[in-house]
Structure 1
């Protein structure tokens, strides 16, 4: 699920730096915040890519928005601005997270359920599905979808495990109509 070659190279350099300084987990958490902020606010990237803003103004904006991040993350963001790679910020963060997950044997999973999962249920889903994709555990994002009617649907990378009542009814309908 890699975003692009340039983002992967920046992420790999940052990841190697994080490993040298033993701050991979801290940096991953910071980059999750950066990625979420950028993805949830498309106007932010539009503003950063605007030719009407000087490099100095762009850097000041990033420093004020992400003032709590480590110097390594901050310098990487400034480097992306210097190299006119503002639109790659989310991809660099995503690639770093992928590298950290791979290193730790973790996979990102989206679990669709009719109601929010409890911590115990999320742990159970992680323990059940992680071995199926060759990982030790799952980092679960739970999305409530009342259209499922019951059960759950789990998406890990490009694999979907559909154990929802809606999925079973759809499969039954396809079987009966063919």
Structure 2
């Protein structure tokens, strides 16, 4: 996995540079996300490595129709195909999104709670995270009833565990020492 990330990094930076120059972050994000989903499909992944699939057909398979990126995205896919790096598209897309978030000063956070959170609660979490990180915050929510109560917030490499399950685990650990 680490090798794939290392190999994907220069391609993600190149895609980011092209998107920045064109002022087309959103279009490139969408196009990369589409291509990454297609490339990650097990049937397509086997096909992409097949020696009888030529580069032009691989590009046609992976390029979304009417994506707004012009010829630049097709050329990018052709470069990946030529270098036998199409399988790296999921990693490239992920790294591109990180570069975009840094450039746009956005923190993406995932809030996992025991039950569905109300809009007011989400806004409170968003405001607290914005204050902590000094950036705009995009929230993604999920429900995990195993948390019993509270929530777990993951933003980048920061994890805030305010779940009842987490508190009970910490209490159990403290009592067993």
- Between the aligned partners of 2:30 and 2:119, the Cα distance in structure 1 is 20
| Per-residue Cα deviation, 1:12-47 (whole angstroms, up to 9, x for no partner) | 2222222222112332233334334545x3433232
2:36 aligned with 1:35: yes
Q: Which runs of 5+ in 2 are unaligned?
A: none
Residues 119, 33 of structure 1: alpha-carbon distance in 2 compared, 3 angstrom cutoff: farther
Q: Which runs of 5+ in 1 are unaligned?
A: none
- Between the aligned partners of 2:52 and 2:167, the Cα distance in structure 1 is 53
1:10 paired residue number: 11
1:23 paired residue number: 24
**Contact 2:39–2:87 under 8 Å retained in 1:** no
1:165 Cα deviation after fit: 0.7
1:58 Cα deviation after fit: 1.9
The count of residues paired between Structure 1 and Structure 2 equals: 173
Give the TM-score of the pair, scaled to structure 1: 0.82
1:168 alignment partner, SS class:
helix
**Contact 2:107–2:138 under 8 Å retained in 1:** yes
**Contact 1:77–1:89 under 8 Å retained in 2:** no
Structure 1 residue ranges (4+ consecutive) displaced by more than 4 angstroms after TM superposition: 36-39
Give the TM-score of the pair, scaled to structure 2: 0.83
- Between the aligned partners of 1:13 and 1:33, the Cα distance in structure 2 is 18
Q: What RMSD over aligned residues (CA atoms) do the two structures have, in Å?
A: 2.3
1:4 alignment partner, SS class:
helix
**Contact 1:109–1:141 under 8 Å retained in 2:** yes
**Contact 2:56–2:78 under 8 Å retained in 1:** no
1:167 paired residue number: 166
